[in-house]
Structure 1
Amino acid sequence: MLSRTGQIPSARRPLPQDAVDRPLAAFRRDYADGESTGRHSHARAQLLFSLSGVMRIATDTASFIVPSGRALWVPAAEPHSVLVAGTVRMRALFLREDAARAGPAGVTVMATSPLMRELILAACEEPLEWDEHGRGGHLAALLIEEIRRAPALPFGVPEPREPRLARLAAALRADPASPLSLDDWAARIGASPRSLSRHFRAETGLSFGAWRQALRLAEAAALLAQGVPPARAAAAVGYASAPAFGAAFRAAFGVTPRGSEGRTVQNRQ
């Protein structure tokens, strides 16, 4: 089959999907809660999709939360690691260089249409070297077009690299509901608020407040995907007001928290 359960992808042990002479090849594997791939890369671009659970993908410059029903585009040779929350049923596509031109230039969380989802699942039933003039060829052509048209979603959070800012970011990731202000954090890391604000923007491209909101909303999306009710997800990431959370979530992702929760997919395949 084009998508076979195999070893965890690794730069040291390339998968057949990294080299097969087809525009794309599919791969599937189920991961247990808490399992991690470790840092690795692939010769080809990937589209990672989960039928259930939440994938947390870290690159050298950002972290991404990918709830079930969404996908992550990873360019060729991009080092990354995957940590799963809940049982994750991953379905992935590996794209040859010519086909990968349909995707974005950088790591991107993408919305997946119902058609794209079904095409990914159908590709997983094809042999590794599918008939280029038959069903496999038609599926590949449609998948490439769906990838080209897929909207990007703001589920990525830039990661500061400066050691003090990295410690701050790790603390907020561990406790996104922390009420500490910019002044409080500045005192904790030994910097002035103005200096902290300037360095944070230089490192991430965002103000401290915008970065913290992006983190909180991404973490809330992960909770919603695991079945946590919107009010509880809002409180868990630091929103005292459910309406304020709903407005911020809708502005960022284009759907209400309850609408996002309802997109969790746990049926076939």
Structure 2
Amino acid sequence: MTRRALLALPAAALLGSLLLAGCTADRAPGPTAPAPATTASSPDGGASPDAAAVRADGTPVASGTVTLSVLAPGGPPTATPAEDDAVLLAVAVPADDAAATLVTVATLAPPEGGTIDVLDDLSAVVRGADGAVLAGLTAPLLDHPAGRTVRVRTAEDGAVTWLAEGAAGSGAGGGTVTATFAATAVLDATWRDLADEGGRSLAVEPAAWARRGSLASEEAVWSALVAAEPEADAQNVRDQLTCHLIGAPDKATWNLEPWRPDVGLLETIAALCNPS
């Protein structure tokens, strides 16, 4: 089973409770990640504006030093500040055609030269022109879906479009789509010498949004760690990171140790994130 499949499993809460018993017995498991919605590359729902048009005419939404542009036919988005420089982005679904089966909600454009890379669970990472991860974006969620879901359309110029889908007559219009946009994935990463246990340990404090579990949060945390602490750039360390994200999201720090053996992700999980 792949890393992405493990992170997207609806049963992650059950796995988390098992791991948490070994890693963080004094804490409750984190919330279950939502089941992934359906991706789409269909041309239905109307033509999407290109990234340049969205940057020119859309509303800027900033987290830290990273700015997305959002163009929404239902009106400008709202951006509510959240923990650790994150922003709760909310966009109204147009309600002018209640019989529509697919309605464009918003098109998001990255900074010029960058891309928005949509992952398997519909979370996304915002990348710069050099491919580096600049920010994360949680999967878009539609309130009161009433049989509706959110589709995501990607474009070659790096923009993405959110669409609300419903059966004919169900009314694809109405409601609000929300997602968290965050440029900060790691609040602190500090090396400690634990010679009595086996060697150095990197205590990682993730940002609040990154603890909630998504492919984007894992990639954003890992990218930030490797950039700040190149010594951590090893597969066994990444497996320990993924293990903590799945099974111990609320632990105060995620302790990652390069000296532990590289046994693969599944065996790392079986060892409660601490293979020996």
- Could you tell me the TM-score, scaled by structure 1's length? 0.28
Q: Hey, which of these two has a bigger chunk of strand by percent?
A: 2
Q: Hey, which of these two has a bigger chunk of helix by percent?
A: 1
